[in-house]
C-alpha cells in the first residue's frame, strides 16, 4: 500500500514527508524534484514569499545511491525564512508571548473554525498549518510518484484555462495525447501557465487589475495523464473508484472548490448519443473521443485522464474584509499578511502532483510488487495477455 504523511508549519523549521510503499529499485532524480518545486513557486501574481524561498529537498531515509530501497522515504524541505520566525514558532516555552497573537480571523480561511475547534487563542496556531505552504511537500512527493509512472511512460501535465473573467471554453474530448503534451510544453513557458496566447495576456491584465485594487482572483486549470493503462481503480466499491479518489485528492488542495472529469458539468446539456465514447477495435480496443475524461465505472479506460479544477479567489486581501476580533468581539478589519494575488498557475502544478499520487497508488494496487522489476513483469504480462 502506497501512503504518505506530511508535517510542518508554514514558517516553522521545515516540512517533512514520509512515503511508504514505494517499490525498491526506482531511480530517483533530485533535480527532477527541484524542477517540480520550482514550477510550483512560479506564476504571475504570486506574493513576496516566492522570492525568498527556493525550495530544495533533502532525503533522510529510503534512498541509497539514487535508488529507492523499499523502506520508508523521508523528505525534508527546510523553510529558508525560519530565522525570522524562530521565536514565534519555537517549541521552547521560554518564547511564549514574545510574538503578538493574530486575533482578526480572515474570511475564506481556516482561521475562525480552526480556532474554535482546537480551543486556541492565537490564530497563528491554525494558519501556520492550514496554509498552502504544505503543498510544497505534496509536490515533492508527487514528483516521486511521477518518476514511478514515467517508468511506464505515463506522463502528467496541466495548463490554465481561466483566470477571473479571462477564460476559454476548451473542448478536451478531441485532444489526443500529443496535443496535450504540446499544450503542456507551451504552458510551461507562460507566466500564467496558459498555452493560448491572446488569453495569456488577458489573464495577466485581470491579475494586474486585482493588484491595483487590493483584490485577488481565482480560476480553473486542467490536469491530464497520458498512456494510463486500462483498469486502474475499480467499480466494485465506492472508495476504490478512480474518479472519486481523484476528486477527493483535488478537493484537498487549498482553495479548490470544484472538480470535473472529462466534459464535466457540460455533459448535463447534451444527449447521451453525443457524448458516450463509442468503442472500436483494430487489434486493440480504442475510442475516437474522450468525453468521459478517460474514466468509466471508476476505472481508467485507456484514454487520457482529463480533470478540471476550479480555484476560488485568494482570501487574504489588502482591501480590508469585515471580521470580528476574537478577544474583544469588536468589528475589525481582517488580518493581512503577505499574500498571493493569484495562485492558479501554482495550483495546477499541485494538481499534477496529487493526480500523479492517485495514479501511482492505483497503479501499484493493480501491478503491485516489492521491486520495480516485479511490477514491470506484472505490467508486461497484463499488457500482452489482456489488452
Ligand atoms: C498554491 C496556493 C497558494 C495560495 N496562496 C495563498 C495566499 O498567499 N494567501 C491566501 O490567503 N490564500 C492562499 N491560498 C489559499 C488558501 O490556502 C485557502 O483558501 C485557505 O487555506 C482555505 O482553504 P479552502 O479555500 O480550501 O477552504 C493558496 C492556495 C494555493 C493552492
Give the model's pLDDT for residue 338. 84
CATH T-level assignment (fold) for domain 3-385 = Chorismate synthase, AroC fold (3.60.150)
Cα distance between residue 305 and residue 231, in whole Å:
12
* CB-based burial label for 59 (10 Å; 0-12, 13-18, 19+): middle
Whether residue 136 has its Cβ less than 6 Å from ligand 1: no
User: DSSP letters along 353-384, please?
Assistant: HHHHHHHHHHHHHHH--SBHHHHHHHHHHHHH
Cβ contacts of 81-89, under 8 Å, gap ≥ 24: 81/11, 81/49, 81/52, 81/53, 82/11, 82/12, 82/13, 82/14, 84/11, 85/11, 85/12, 88/11, 88/124, 89/9, 89/11, 89/12, 89/13, 89/128
In terms of Cα–Cα distance, which of 171, 184, 353 is closest to 262? 171
User: DSSP letters along 40-56, please?
Assistant: HH--TT--THHHH----
**Which residue, chain included where needed, has cell 510503499?**
21
User: DSSP letters along 213-278, please?
Assistant: HT----EEEEEEEESPPTT-B-SSSGGG-HHHHHHHHHHTSTTEEEEEETTGGGGGGS-HHHHS--
Cα distance between residue 281 and residue 32, in whole Å:
38
Nearest 5°: phi and psi at 86? -55, -40
111 has a pLDDT exceeding 60 = yes
253 has a pLDDT exceeding 90 = yes
Give the model's pLDDT for residue 291. 98
User: First CA to last CA across the chain, in angstroms?
Assistant: 25
Whether residue 346 has its Cβ less than 6 Å from ligand 1: yes
Question: Which has more pLDDT, 203 or 54?
Answer: 203
386 has a pLDDT exceeding 80 = no
- The pLDDT of 50-78, averaged and rounded, is 92
C-alpha grid cell, residue 349: 502544478
268 has a pLDDT exceeding 80 = yes
- The pLDDT of 28-39, averaged and rounded, is 98
Whether residue 314 has its Cβ less than 6 Å from ligand 1: yes
- The pLDDT of 196-203, averaged and rounded, is 95
Q: What percent of the chain has pLDDT over 70?
A: 98
Beta bridge partners of 280: 286
Q: Give 283-341 pLDDT, tens digit per residue.
A: 999 999 999 999 999 999 999 999 999 999 999 999 989 999 999 999 999 999 889 99
In terms of Cα–Cα distance, which of 165, 214, 192 is closest to 348? 192
SS3 132: helix
Q: How far is CA 102 from CA 88, 99, 128, 151, 336, in A?
A: 11, 9, 11, 47, 10
C-alpha dihedral sign at 56, 62, 64, 70: negative
Whether residue 255 has its Cβ less than 6 Å from ligand 1: yes
Whether residue 132 has its Cβ less than 6 Å from ligand 1: yes
C-alpha dihedral sign at 77, 87, 7, 247: negative
Cα distance between residue 380 and residue 364, in whole Å:
14
C-alpha grid cell, residue 370: 516489492
pTM of the model: 0.97
Across the chain, the runs of DSSP E, i.e. the strands, are 3-7, 14-20, 57-61, 63-64, 67-68, 73-78, 155-163, 166-167, 219-226, 256-261, 280-281, 285-286, 295-296, 299-300, 305-311, 322-324, 331-333
Nearest 5°: phi and psi at 239? -85, 5
Give the model's pLDDT for residue 49. 59
**Which residue, chain included where needed, has cell 510550483?**
40
Mutate to test the pocket of ligand 1, among 45, 314, 342 (most ligand atoms within 8 A of CB): 314
Whether residue 316 has its Cβ less than 6 Å from ligand 1: yes
How many residues are there in the chain? 387
In terms of Cα–Cα distance, which of 39, 9, 69, 17 is closest to 352? 39
Q: Could you tell me which residues come within 8 angstroms of residue 84 by beta carbon, excluding any fewer than 6 positions away?
A: 11
Mutate to test the pocket of ligand 1, among 102, 223, 343 (most ligand atoms within 8 A of CB): 343
Amino acid at each position: 500500500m502506497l501512503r504518505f504523511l506530511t508535517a510542518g508549519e508554514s514558517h516553522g523549521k521545515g516540512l517533512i514527508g514520509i512515503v511508504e510503499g514505494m517499490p525498491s529499485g526506482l531511480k530517483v532524480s533530485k533535480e527532477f524534484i527541484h524542477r517540480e518545486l520550482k514550477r510550483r513557486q512560479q506564476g504571475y501574481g504570486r506574493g513576496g514569499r516566492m522570492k525568498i524561498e527556493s525550495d530544495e529537498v533533502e532525503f533522510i531515509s529510503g534512498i541509497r545511491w539514487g535508488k529507492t530501497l523499499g523502506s520508508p522515504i523521508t523528505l525534508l524541505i527546510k523553510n529558508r525564512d525560519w530565522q525570522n520566525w524562530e521565536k514565534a514558532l519555537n517549541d521552547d516555552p521560554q518564547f511564549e508571548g514574545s510574538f503578538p497573537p493574530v486575533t482578526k480571523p480572515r474570511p475564506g480561511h481556516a482561521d475562525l473554525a480552526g480556532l474554535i475547534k482546537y480551543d486556541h487563542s492565537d490564530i497563528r496556531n491554525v494558519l501556520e498549518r492550514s496554509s498552502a505552504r504544505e503543498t510544497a511537500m505534496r509536490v515533492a512527493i508527487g514528483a516521486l510518484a511521477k518518476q514511478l509512472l514515467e517508468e511506464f511512460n505515463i506522463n502528467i501535465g496541466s495548463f490554465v484555462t481561466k483566470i477571473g473573467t479571462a477564460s476559454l471554453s476548451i473542448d478536451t474530448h478531441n485532444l489526443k495525447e500529443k496535443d496535450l503534451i504540446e499544450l503542456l510544453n507551451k504552458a510551461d513557458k507562460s507566466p500564467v501557465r496558459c498555452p493560448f496566447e491572446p488569453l495569456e495576456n488577458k489573464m495577466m491584465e485581470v491579475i494586474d487589475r486585482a493588484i491595483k485594487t487590493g483584490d485577488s482572483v481565482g480560476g480553473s486549470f486542467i490536469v491530464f495523464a497520458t498512456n494510463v493503462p486500462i483498469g486502474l481503480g475499480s467499480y466494485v466499491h465506492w472508495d476504490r473508484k478512480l474518479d472519486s479518489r481523484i476528486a477527493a485528492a483535488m478537493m484537498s488542495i487549498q482553495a479548490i472548490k470544484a472538480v470535473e472529469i472529462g466534459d464535466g458539468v457540460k455533459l448535463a446539456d447534451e444527449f447521451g448519443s453525443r457524448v458516450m465514447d463509442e468503442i472500436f477495435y483494430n487489434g486493440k480496443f480504442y475510442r475516437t473521443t474522450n468525453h468521459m475524461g478517460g474514466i468509466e465505472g471508476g476505472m481508467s479506460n485507456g484514454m487520457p485522464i482529463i480533470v478540471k479544477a476550479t480555484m476560488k479567489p485568494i482570501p487574504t486581501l489588502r482591501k480590508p474584509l469585515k471580521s470580528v476580533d476574537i478577544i474583544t468581539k469588536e468589528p475589525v478589519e481582517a488580518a493581512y499578511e503577505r499574500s498571493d494575488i493569484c495562485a492558479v498557475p501554482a495550483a495546477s502544478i499541485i494538481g499534477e502532483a496529487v493526480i500523479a499520487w492517485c495514479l501511482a497508488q492505483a497503479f501499484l494496487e493493480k501491478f503491485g510488487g516489492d521491486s520495480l522489476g516485479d511490477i514491470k513483469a506484472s505490467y508486461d504480462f497484463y499488457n500482452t495477455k489482456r489488452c
